[in-house]
Amino acid sequence: MPVTRTELAVHFGREWKRLAQWVRRRLADSADREGEDIVHEVYATLFESDGDLPIDNLSAYVYTALRHRVIDRMRRRKPLVSLESPVADTDGLVLADILPSPGELPPDSIHRQELSNALHHALGTLDDASREIVVATEFEGRTFRELSELWQVPIGTLLSRKSRALRRLAVVLAEYND
């Protein structure tokens, strides 16, 4: 006898907590909500199917689908690496010896943050129209033709605004570099 969406909804409402606990027990080291997420995925897949479902035993079908999802999650998991794991090609160093402390930023990250701050400062020195054209073309990837139609401004005007803006940004960023 096929299962209707109404029967599926009733089954979900009645069984979802028990099913989520069943999944959580099988994924002991997972996040608290992962069991519920997997149950929701299975039921969402069933709800998305068209028409009545040709399922004789809904509970057995759901448990089988959940078991398959749990197996898929377990296969996708990457193994955990201990901070005490030795690093290859070193003289006894472990990962904890070479990783930065949690509060410590690597030099590249600090440089990127400083450059980002300088760029935001430099953009702040531009007038609104110049800043808008630089942000739209350089950061949002929009074309001059698109902006020309959107803003009702000739392409030549947009090109000259951007050119002036880039010259101004170069001066401000050169001051930062010094």
The whole-number pLDDT of residue 102 equals: 62
Tell me the per-residue pLDDT of 97-106, one tens digit each, with 9 for 90 and over.
Answer: 666 666 655 5
Report d(CA 130, CA 166) in Å as an integer. Answer: 9
- Give the domain ranges of the chain: 5-76, 107-177
Show the low-confidence residues of the chain (pLDDT under 70).
Answer: 1, 29-33, 50-52, 77-83, 87-90, 95-111, 177-178
The per-residue pLDDT for 101 is 64
CB-based contacts of 59, cutoff 8 Å, min separation 6: 11, 15
Q: Alpha carbon of 102 to those of 79, 96, 99: distances in Å?
A: 21, 11, 9
Q: How far apart are CA 134 and CA 123, in angstroms?
A: 9
According to the CATH classification, is domain 107-177 in 3.30.300.30?
A: no
Dihedral of the CA atoms 17, 21, 22, 28 (nearest 10)?
Answer: 160
